[in-house]
Amino acid sequence: PFGINSLAKLSDEEEMLREAVRRFATEVVEPKVREMDENEKMDPAIIKGLFEQGLMGIETSQDHGGAGCSFTAAIIVIEELAKVDASVSVLCDVHNTLVNTVLRKYASKELMDKYLPQLSTEVLGSFALSEPSSGSDAFAMKTTCKKDSNGDWIINGSKMWITNSAEAEFFIVFAQGDPSKGYKGISAFAVEKSMGVEIAKKEQKLGIKASSTCTVNFDDVKVPAANLIGEEGKGYKIAIEILNEGRVGIGAQMVGIAQGAYEKSVRYAYDRTQFGKPVASFQGMQFQMADAATEIEAARLLVYNAARLKEEGRPFTKQAAMAKIYSSQVAQSVSGSAIEWAGGVGFTRETGIEKYWRDSKIGAIYEGTSNIQRQTIAKLQEKEMGL
Ligand code: CAA
Ligand code: FAD
């Protein structure tokens, strides 16, 4: 009853992948969701399962051990996982749309040959941009990179809020090499944990509790010259161009959260009887559910449209920002309504409906807050209108 019937057509390969991920999510992830949320810890068996299912190198070429699928395929995987658990979804999202994509798009052949096969099969990655004093103003970072006499790089500083960092062995790190150049002094690096990365404070959060979010410290971490990604001073462009793609992924995560909450609660409301009828049969309930279903469909179309525009090499930055901002609003409002549709039961941990609402809140914060998306949309609107 909740199938996807849309002209935003998916290929046979994308449909098959959706089915496979749906099975993995319901059979392997779902039984562990509550325990992982309460323990605030990702089950290592799930990370292993994601690698075994080929979900950690979705767009990576088969030559590099990946699945060689489309960007939309990655989006579908994120959406399907989020229907069941937003933490597993973001783990997979960061690894694929941020970490792997930086390497695929900007790294030397040598770096791709070295790291992409590991990242497709066994090594988890993190994307380290934000710092204690630079979140929205990401290019004001204080972490430094300096060349030593051999041409290797020495990184010093502290990154904050880094997803996957408790489990990751590999980090994409952004650092400032020449503050006099402003953001044009920022470079990007491929950094192995074993080079000396220190994982510090783990945050306790409102939602996506099983996803690790830690401070990551760099104290004279020596990174080989060859691990510079792209050109020196181009790190800022790498960061934001990757985030433009990543934001579509977060949009997909939010669509999945909204859909997951909707399905759980509507099913409950058809089972629950009051006044001699299923509560879902009251028009007051049905109208709310119809509105929610409409909002989810609109959000999904924004997300898929941004993904297809990207795949076709057309401008998609504005559409990605719109998809993220709208989907995160829909995820919050639908998961909030879902709690109400289930009454008191929705407010308990029993059904897991309240978890969707807690998990939805992050959509308006990470990968650029909703205000930052608005700023991006406004800037592009001005440009398009020649103002
Ligand atoms: N796409 C491409 N280029 C962009 C861009 C965009 N969306 N936004 C800005 N730029 C470029 C500009 O063109 C300019 O480059 P050039 O000089 O080469 O033309 C440069 O960036 C600076 O532009 P601005 O002066 O307009 O930018 P700013 O300094 O005001 O802010 C920003 C830029 C830091 C990118 C800000 O807009 C932003 O997006 N902040 C949010 C940061 C963010 O998303 N962090 C996410 C961390 S990762 C994460 O969160 C992962 C997770 O949780 C799961
Ligand atoms: P601030 O920038 O301090 O913003 C505070 C408020 O001010 C917000 O409402 C914001 O919208 C508003 N604001 C700021 N500037 C403007 C403006 N110009 N106009 C209007 N309003 C404005 N970062 C990574 O690098 N890697 C990760 O893996 C990662 N994972 C994360 C996981 C979690 C759970 C969380 C919470 C964060 C994560 N982040 C990550 C960091 C995340 O990207 C930042 O938290 C986010 O970009 C916002 O930055 P901030 O928290 O410093 O908020």
Instruction: Give pLDDT tens digits for 47-65.
Output: 999 999 999 999 999 999 9
Active site includes 245?
no
Cβ < 6 A, ligand 2 pocket: 94, 127-130, 135-136, 161-163, 205, 208, 213, 362, 365-369, 371-372, 375
Query: Which secondary structure element, helix H or strand E, spans residue 144, and what is its range?
Result: strand 144-147
State whether residue 131 is helix, strand or coil.
Answer: strand
Q: Report how far Cα 171 is from the mean position of its chain's Cα atoms.
A: 16
Contact 363, 331 (CB under 8 A): yes
> Mean of the pLDDT values across residues 207-231?
98
Taking the CA of 242 as reference, the closest ligand is 1
The secondary structure of residue 17, as a DSSP letter, is: H
Query: How far away, in angstroms, is 364 Cα from ligand 2 center?
Result: 9
Q: Which of 136, 205, 371 to mutate to test the pocket of ligand 2 (most atoms within 8 A of CB)?
A: 136
> Is this complex's ipTM strictly greater than 0.90?
yes
State whether residue 224 is helix, strand or coil.
Answer: coil
Instruction: Give pLDDT tens digits for 297-311.
Output: 999 999 999 999 999
Angle at 58 between CA 356 and CA 174, to 5 degrees: 80
Closest C-alpha to 339, from 347, 331, 351: 347
Instruction: Give pLDDT tens digits for 175-201.
Output: 999 999 999 999 999 999 999 999 999
What is the spatial distance between Cα 368 and Cα 347, in angstroms, rounded to a whole number? Answer: 29
pLDDT band at 169 (very low <50, low <70, confident <90, very high): very high
Flag whether pLDDT at 1 surpasses 70. Answer: no
Please count the residues of the chain. Answer: 387
pLDDT band at 245 (very low <50, low <70, confident <90, very high): very high
State whether residue 107 is helix, strand or coil.
Answer: coil
Work out the mean pLDDT of the chain and round it to a whole number.
Answer: 96
Instruction: Give pLDDT tens digits for 23-32.
Output: 999 999 999 9
Q: Which amino acid is at 370?
A: S
Query: How far away, in angstroms, is 136 Cα from ligand 2 center?
Result: 5
Atom of ligand 1 nearest to the CA of 236: 21
Flag whether pLDDT at 147 surpasses 50. Answer: yes
Query: How far away, in angstroms, is 138 Cα from ligand 2 center?
Result: 9
User: What pLDDT score was predicted for residue 188?
Assistant: 98
Q: Which of 100, 176, 240 to mutate to test the pocket of ligand 1 (most atoms within 8 A of CB)?
A: 240
* Cβ neighbours around 11 below 10 Å, total: 12
Q: Which of 131, 213, 366 to mutate to test the pocket of ligand 2 (most atoms within 8 A of CB)?
A: 366
SS3 for 155-215 is: EEEEEEEEECCCCCCEEEEEEECCHHHHHHHEEEEEEEHHHCCEEEEECCCCCCCCCCEEE
User: What pLDDT score was predicted for residue 6?
Assistant: 61
Contacts of residue 351, defined as CB under 8 A and 6 or more positions apart, other chains included, come to: 264, 265, 268, 342, 345
Which residues are 174's β-sheet partners?
A: 188
Tell whether the torsion through CA atoms of 82, 86, 91 and 94 is positive or negative: positive
Catalytic residue from among 131, 192, 354, 367: 367
> Mean of the pLDDT values across residues 101-129?
98
Query: How far away, in angstroms, is 298 Cα from ligand 1 center?
Result: 26
Instruction: Give pLDDT tens digits for 155-167.
Output: 999 999 999 999 9
Instruction: Give pLDDT tens digits for 270-299.
Output: 999 999 999 999 999 999 999 999 999 999
Instruction: Give pLDDT tens digits for 322-380.
Output: 999 999 999 999 999 999 999 999 999 989 999 999 999 999 999 999 999 999 999 99
User: What pLDDT score was predicted for residue 10?
Assistant: 85
